Amino acid sequence: MPLSARPFLAEHFTVARQAVSGRNGIVASQHHLASEIGVEVLEAGGNAVDAAVAAAMALCVVEPWMSGMGGGGFMLVGNAETGQVDEVDFGMVAPNAVDNSHYAIVEGDSGHDALFSWPRVIDDRNQIGPYSVAVPGAVAGLAAAVQRFGSMPWTELVSPAANLASRGLPVAWPATLEIAAGAETLRLFEGSRAVYLPNGLPPVAADAHKPIWLAMGRLSATLTRLAEAGPRDFYEGEIAAAIVYDMQAAGGLMTASDLATYQAEIRPARAIRHRGATIHLTHNFSGGPTFARALQRTAKSLDPSLGVTAPAYLAWAEALQEAFAYRFANLGHAGDMVSRDACTTHLSVVDRDGNMVALTNTLLERFGSRMVLPETGVLMNNGMFWFDPRPGQANSLEAGKRPLANMCPVLATKNGKPWFALGASGGRRIVPAVFQLTSLLTDFGLSLDHAYQVPRLDVSGEAGILADHRLNPAILDALAARFDVTLTYDSAGMEEFAKPQAVLQDGDQQWGAVALALASAKAIAAS
């Protein structure tokens, strides 16, 4: 099969980042301010969970288009003393009042032009605005993790984010690009316009080295209240009442009961033995089952003695293709992803004792529902867009149901100790990214730094594969003989490949790495 290329892409520079090292803990996140806050928690005596929660709360201020209190996700927690790895599931849930009558399908539409192939809903109600909002789980999940595994008071982990919000959103060029990309729909909602388009246009910093700060409405007050009143206030207290007021004023379906009854779930993570290590994954409504299927296939088909050469890439491509085919047929998310505007946050943490966290949180799309709630300043998810609006499908809409998501945090243990924790942002492309990095670390024994430099494939759709243009011609020829291959670049957004954040422990030495093309991302070692 012939190779093709994306002609509109041109690269004239190479981005390179070295992994950071330390011995007292590392935080690797998608924004340097969040990583700094996480490291401050580690240096104050907090453990990996404490640092991860503080960093995640900070990200809802400095990277709000990706994740936040209005979203949901998954966390894996690895205990250095026992080797136990637990999953915290805080996925979003459909409100109890929803049914298919709220999401009428556009007649004659054969597939949406955004993330999924199912028919478009009238007025895009499942994608934008109040009907797109699922019950958020982020606060409940982070709180459950602190209660079960943390060592510091909740208020000390939330207060740094409140302080950040009081200063505002730092706007450098990445933030300007994100806001500009979302401006067309952000302008539809009063609360969103007030925060992100205060002058009717995306903000632009006059000096690239001196960001401006956008006021974030009532977000600082909400975070302060959350720190002082505790996490259940988000679901049953003053914050909950304000959320319900705004949602119902906008015509949404979420009720006080939906919030009050939401609970995060904690369970032992799924475990798979692989090459002398144990790979721990999430269950059910995540990318975990698809990752597991691909990993189990490569355990039989991949020969590490041949090195990271054409046979390895062929084994990866075949395993991922089969795993996604099974996912489409049996779990949902059918069809190819035309748009690659899938946005998520991942962070990984290791503390001085070797405890680890892999945490992924999302709003689903960039800016989620596009709705900032005026009374709280919280940006809400569009998790209802994950559901197939057609009845009788694998991932059909159902009241109180958790939708199938792509998030796929991974935590590996070896010799009874946490070895590495990783995950990524990037929608359906998350699984191929973390799968290949896991293989490079476990099958081939590469260092974290080296693994990050290896060109990757994306095999997450139904129409062939994407291949990094840096791949050796012999590898590309071997792939093209079996697959439709499109050459592409790893760009400075989410477009082509997912963006992973990882930590790893080797003896008493720790390593952290972030996605090469995320400008604001940073791994920071504690002193």
Q: Which residues pair with 468 in a beta bridge?
A: 488
- The pLDDT of residue 110 is 59
Distance CA 496, CA 498 (A): 7
d(CA 143, CA 415): 30
pLDDT at position 55: 98
Least confident of 154-168, 191-205, 226-240, 261-275: 191-205
Q: What is the pLDDT of residue 15?
A: 57
Asked whether the predicted pLDDT for residue 9 surpasses 90, the reply is no
Q: Provide mean pLDDT across the span 402-423.
A: 96
Per residue in 152-199, pLDDT (tens digit) is: 999 999 999 999 999 999 998 889 989 999 999 999 999 999 999 999
Burial category of 43 from C-beta neighbours within 10 Å (exposed 0-12, middle 13-18, buried 19 and up)? middle
- The answer to whether 450 and 504 have CB atoms below 8 angstroms apart is no
C-alpha separations of 226 from 158, 160, 231, 361 in Å: 7, 12, 6, 18
The whole-number pLDDT of residue 356 equals: 98
Average pLDDT score, the chain: 92
Averaged over 24-46, what is the pLDDT?
Answer: 98
What confidence category does residue 517 fall into, taking pLDDT thresholds of 50, 70 and 90?
confident
Query: Using an 8 Å Cβ cutoff, are 379 and 70 in contact?
Result: yes
pLDDT above 80: residue 13: no
pLDDT at 336 over 70: no
Q: For residue 108, what pLDDT is reported?
A: 72
Q: What is the mean pLDDT of residues 241-253?
A: 97
Query: How many Å apart are CA 39 and CA 99, to the nearest integer?
Result: 44
pLDDT, residue 519, reads: 86
Burial degree of 71 (CB within 10 A; 0-12, 13-18, 19+): buried
pLDDT band at 461 (very low <50, low <70, confident <90, very high): confident
Q: Averaged over 426-442, what is the pLDDT?
A: 95
357-401 per-position pLDDT tens digit: 999 999 999 999 999 999 999 999 999 999 999 998 888 999 999
Mean pLDDT for the stretch of residues 103-127: 79
Percent share of the chain, pLDDT over 90: 80
Confidence at 463, pLDDT banded by 50, 70, 90: low
Query: Which of 463 and 12 is assigned the larger pLDDT?
Result: 463
Residue 280 pLDDT > 90: yes
- Whether the CB-CB separation of 347 and 142 falls below 8 Å is answered with no
- Interaxial angle between packed helices 238-249 and 219-229, expressed in degrees from 0 to 180 and rounded to the nearest 10: 140
Distances (CA, A) of 159 to 162, 168, 259: 5, 14, 23
Strongest mean pLDDT among 113-127, 335-349, 399-413: 399-413
DSSP per residue, 468-484: ETTS-HHHHHHHHTTS-
Angle formed at CA 297 by CA 469 and CA 342, multiple of 5 degrees = 50
What is the gyration radius of the CA atoms in the chain, in angstroms? 21
- At 12, the pLDDT band (50, 70, 90 cuts) reads very low
Catalytic residues: 344
286-298 pLDDT, tens per residue? 999 999 999 999 9
Question: Average pLDDT in the 69-76 region?
Answer: 98
Q: Which of 24-33, 99-108, 426-435, 490-499 has the lowest mean pLDDT?
A: 490-499
Mean of the pLDDT values across residues 17-21? 89
Question: Do 514 and 20 contact (CB within 8 A), yes or no?
Answer: no
Question: Does the pLDDT of residue 339 top 60, yes or no?
Answer: no
Report the C-alpha gap between 488 and 393 in whole angstroms. 33
The reported pLDDT for the residue numbered 337 is 47
| pLDDT score at 459 | 93
For residue 208, pLDDT over 80 is answered with no
List, in order of start, the domains of the chain with CATH numbers: 3-7+20-168+216-525 (3.60.20.40)
